[in-house]
Amino acid sequence: MAHQHTNRLIHETSPYLLQHAHNPVDWYPWGDEAFAKAQAEDKPILLSIGYSACHWCHVMERECFENEAIARLMNELYVNIKVDREERPDLDEIYMSAVQMLTGRGGWPMTMFLTPERKPFYGGTYFPPEDRGGMPGFPRILMGVNQAYRERPVDVEKSVTQILDGLQRMATSVATEKDFVKTIIGDCAAKIGQAYDADNGGLGQAPKFPNPGVYELFLRHYHHSKSARYLEMVVHTLTKMARGGIYDHLGGGFHRYSVDAKWLVPHFEKMLYDNGQLLRIYALAYKLTQEELFKSVVEDTASYLLREMLQPEGGFYSTQDADSEGVEGKFFVWTEAEVLRVLGEEDGAIFCRIYDVTEAGNFEGLNILHPILTIEQASKYFRREVQDLEQLITEAKAKLFSEREKRIKPFRDEKIIAAWNGLMLSGLGEAIKISPKPAYVEAVRRTIEFIFTKMWRDGLLLHTYKDGQAKLLGYLDDYAFVAAGLLDCYEALFDPSMLRHAIELSEIMLREFSAEQEGVFYYTGNSHEKLISRAKPIFDASVPSGNAMATQLLLRLYHMTGEERYRLQAEKILRAYYEAMESQPFGFAHLLCALDGYLEKAKEVVVVGELDDPRVVDLLGKIHSVYQPNLTIQLASPSEPLENISLLLRGKGQVGGQPTVYVCHNFTCSAPVTSWQELLPLIAN
């Protein structure tokens, strides 16, 4: 029911908070007003954390936060605070760790009970509105927790101490005394590979997540070991995903994850961070395999992102919902009758056979489109030429897409988050290397300009932008991911300002986020609001760990600038988590990729020439077509002294007026080469 009543969230910019501004719950945003009230009235704080594309967050809102009786209890017993985890990942990181310690599992919506000093003592995730299936209902929880707070302060204090001690333990790391060994990469890849699903690809059974960091680790290991199994696992998984329902076959782009083991039924929301990371891994896999399917996934996903997620002045939106018109997946699914109506009986019948559309349906009586026959199989089955069928499918998809565009679209969260735009820049940088379309280049340039004009204040990066205002100081991920994205784009486009910006962000990151003793990075900067604990994020989740990305970034910059500080800082992080990687490689794929870069030492490629020389463009295109994960590449104008790039190149330059390339590795440089025949053996392994 609609309420005339609004609460304090009405003044926020986060779409998720605004969605709760009309609840009968007297919500506060995180901040001093709420803490002061909790202290003055000696009431515990109920902290609820979620995000706009989260299905169960909507369910709990409908069942509990819009319920007058439950809202009355919440208002009477608690000071209620609502947080968008995409705006405040720092709070999410701390309180989610607390929930996991208390309950052994995490997830959203997260419901956390705090003392007025913001210290957690009890919590959980989704609670139903009444007792259900052995699960206590939310009203019972509200009354029980409040009673414990009032009548059993000793127990509450004990719980707080245990949680804070746990958070403290999670934030400490011990530098290893061991020497690094090269075999760790293969050993860890093999351990992770034990969870591989040989039938359907991917790791484990249901639900199944994309895990791009793991596949990047597998590609790196394949690159050194030439052990075919690792390439096989990546190719099989990426193929299964691209043919599954997790991929949007009409519009491009990937849904969040699959609820089954076969990639068929997705959780339908689409997240910028997944699609940015998947662009990158499909582009890398294309370099190794020249598999056309992978290239078309890159191009279709990039067009989806540019069409639906790009803000006109640059910068990409965050997420699109799973639900539209209150029904999950409604925008994406079809009945057989609809497909036949749009395509006609004959073409429709062929399309339905190939894309698994039936009267009975493959999802709650409806159909998620995904191909179950290859074009070759269909050609035999229908006795039609392969070209004819390819054309039929292309036209059918275009017709169904424009029919689908008439539907009510899922909600789009139009916050622009710096870190996720960094992942997007990395994805587009790799896409440009295999498919240099002007639209991609334009989107990259506009996005970088947007970040450094609209999301930059007093020499610091801001985390989020919406409705004309940028706010919240950037977190570790914002600095590390944007700087890494800038490097990927520099190596695709060779605009020197991108490299300068990457160095600038890295310098701020070193100053603001380093933990003095261990040299590991904190999640929040020195200028940040002081919270009950200062986390050092190290495990990959749906996005890579900030420390892992920072390590990769610093190692790459070390090879591009020769700046020793970068290498030393990266080494400290690797030392701090080396033994954890050995024993538990699952959460460490991106840090293992960084360790691989450290152990192999990059080949430093310097091309001397001008970007308007077609011979230079041709040479760069060829370098881009090779998969070599440990490579840095810079372009130098023949007029600039090469020692500006590396002291190793002092006094060197172009040979005979031709584009010239030097490859340095482990402090020695190759003789100058001017042809691809001479260059290829120097950069391939």
> Are 61 and 22 contacting, i.e. CB atoms less than 8 angstroms apart?
no
Residue 464 is classified by DSSP as E
> Are 109 and 56 contacting, i.e. CB atoms less than 8 angstroms apart?
yes
- In terms of Cα–Cα distance, which of 402, 392, 324 is closest to 355? 392
pLDDT in tens, 625-642: 999 999 999 999 999 888
pLDDT for 1 equals 44
Instruction: Indicate left, alpha or beta for 431 from its phi (over 0: left) and psi (-120 to 50: alpha).
Output: alpha
pLDDT in tens, 289-336: 999 999 999 999 999 999 999 999 999 999 999 989 989 899 999 999
In angstroms, the Cα distances linking 611 to 391, 605, 638 are 38, 16, 11
pLDDT in tens, 219-240: 999 999 999 999 999 999 999 9
Spatial CB neighbours of 183, under 8 Å, sequence gap ≥ 6 = none
Distance CA 271, CA 209 (A): 13
On average, the pLDDT of the chain sits at 95
Confidence of residue 517 (pLDDT cuts 50, 70, 90): confident
Which domains are present in the chain? 8-170 (3.40.30.10), 183-325+412-600 (1.50.10.10), 332-404 (no CATH), 603-683 (3.40.30)
Beta strands in 201-356 (DSSP E): 257-258, 266-267, 270-271, 317-320, 323-324, 327-328
pLDDT exceeds cutoff 70 at 136:
yes
pLDDT in tens, 143-165: 999 999 999 999 999 999 999 99
Instruction: Enumerate long-range contacts of 18-23, CB under 8 Å, 24 or more apart.
Output: 19/52, 19/61, 20/61, 20/65, 20/82, 23/61, 23/65, 23/66, 23/71
Confidence of residue 4 (pLDDT cuts 50, 70, 90): low
CB-CB neighbours of 573 under 10 Å = 27
| The pairing of beta strand 323-324 with beta strand 327-328 | antiparallel
The angle at the Cα of 405, spanning 403 to 408, to the nearest 5 degrees, equals 115
Average pLDDT over residues 608-625: 96
Please tell me the total number of residues recorded for the chain in this structure. Answer: 685
Least confident interval from 65-79, 289-303, 468-482, 632-646: 632-646
- Which amino acid belongs to residue 198? A
- DSSP notation for 602-632: -EEEEEES-TT-HHHHHHHHHHHTS--SSEE
In angstroms, the Cα distances linking 300 to 79, 296, 384, 501 are 47, 6, 26, 29
| The pairing of beta strand 412-417 with beta strand 317-320 | antiparallel
Distance CA 91, CA 98 (A): 11
pLDDT for 250 equals 98
- On the CB side of 103, CA atoms within 13 Å amount to 19
Distance CA 304, CA 83 (A): 29
- Which amino acid belongs to residue 22? H
Return the residue matching tokens 């910068």.
315
- What pTM, to 2 d.p., does this model score? 0.95
Beta strands in 402-549 (DSSP E): 412-417, 456-457, 460-466, 469-473
